[in-house]
Structure 1
């Protein structure tokens, strides 16, 4: 009978050991500091007072040394990191760490940097970031996730339903900010047909009339995700397409097809409806800008004198009569579409 008792005892011990192992897996961050020639005399003590509340495991001051390599070393394991950050206190009384420099007293910013190192590892604090504060690798991840094509008709669909259907097919989490939760209750419907465009561009188009935008982000310790927020809350957002790298005539040759034409006192909406199928690309309207400038496609009458010309010139002529312009843009997979907005670009 002793063997079962030993086995039971071992199992009980394991049940207590597992949580302990998980707790020890939390990353540790220590700081080793050297001083640069000219660093203020007695400044080390002041910096220690700042750093002691920055969630560091240990702080070590070393004697003044030349040629200190500012870096991060992991003296633990991948599963249980023990990061040692080698930094420098400079002659300007700043703290220089890998990829960043802090002024004296920036306790909150230093703490945030330490937390990011713990949550996202060395790459999280050393990789170069660009637009949206993301690394090149993360931007490519977002772009790839938004390349899927819309396979359903959008015209007449409620904006909120269109957003839900698009988001459901993405490989990234979509988070809604407070403004988005309020705006998506709207009964407003999608006015344009976006079937065939990629998800990123289509989602940006659907959100714009609601005063919303799409923003990729990487919260500390979390995966890259897409956030839908009010357009007035951010400085940069995912665009409604990009300028094509090729000549517009190469990607939309129908725009430059010659024909005999005469348009006399016809509603702009009617003229565009007649032209659109011949261009073989979606027409996408900037309804926000048009509403702001009180432009109604149904009430504006347009004219084009009889003669031989091509579709792009016809479009430029009729749109200008309503203070509008058009330009060729492409989505995430280089599918072309025509973006129509006011001459005073918003």
Structure 2
């Protein structure tokens, strides 16, 4: 592939997912929906971060491999076009690993461990002090994921904002130390004079979608998620399980903090219908069952085209591997260009390096 193939005047996006299972509605409204819309306005690079998955699943590499294919099919089913966007495997882009090492030298350890996202994951997963050295290193790896592609923007959920801020800090630090950018300069100067632009976070339409249990955000591990690949029957069953806190079908219902109405507000395009149902719900004139089944219909309308696209790839798994192979080849071209620029700025460009893609 020539350099010209990946050269563009459009701004660039980098985002992706750690393969820990299939994608759910929280992923859709938090980031994936934006990716589908953005691929015709930006150069989009979508990373399957399979190396990061090993931070807590080092002994489950075969399962991680299967999750790679599941998430790739979720991307394709959701409407990400591999002709417009680059879907690639983290483990097959060696420049990311090398940049991770360089960036680790620019991050004080105490700054890394103050990252609230990292601290929250340690608490939620009950790791205590029993986590591998690789677990905090993955936060540096996320910085490298983004900067390897010199992304201008990163679509993320609310909980990932601290990672983007740390990425911005590292980009500035690298540009100041190795590219001679004035420490007092603004972000525009870094983009023009430095190796790395200063990426911005782009929030999804909904920064945090509650799970059907109403207790926490939607998550596979908490068994409170509606997946993009769920069947119509599974969607109806899960909508029927949505916790509303209502004691009787004819008692006045509460709208605020109720995931049933959070979902209607998020997914039901008929706003007049939603407001009418809310008014009747507050007065006890409509039951949970009717509102939940209407929600199931709305969600199934959203997911049906995804199911059809997913079925095509499930019927021919080689197509999924072809998408990953081509996307990773294209990603390596860009990442190698970035690594070469970074090493030149560091005066570490001793030998020419060429990879066969």
Q: What is the TM-score normalised by the length of structure 2?
A: 0.22
Greater per-residue strand proportion: 1
Q: Per chain length, whose mean CA-contact separation is higher, i.e. which structure has more relative contact order (CA < 8 Å, sep 6+)?
A: 2
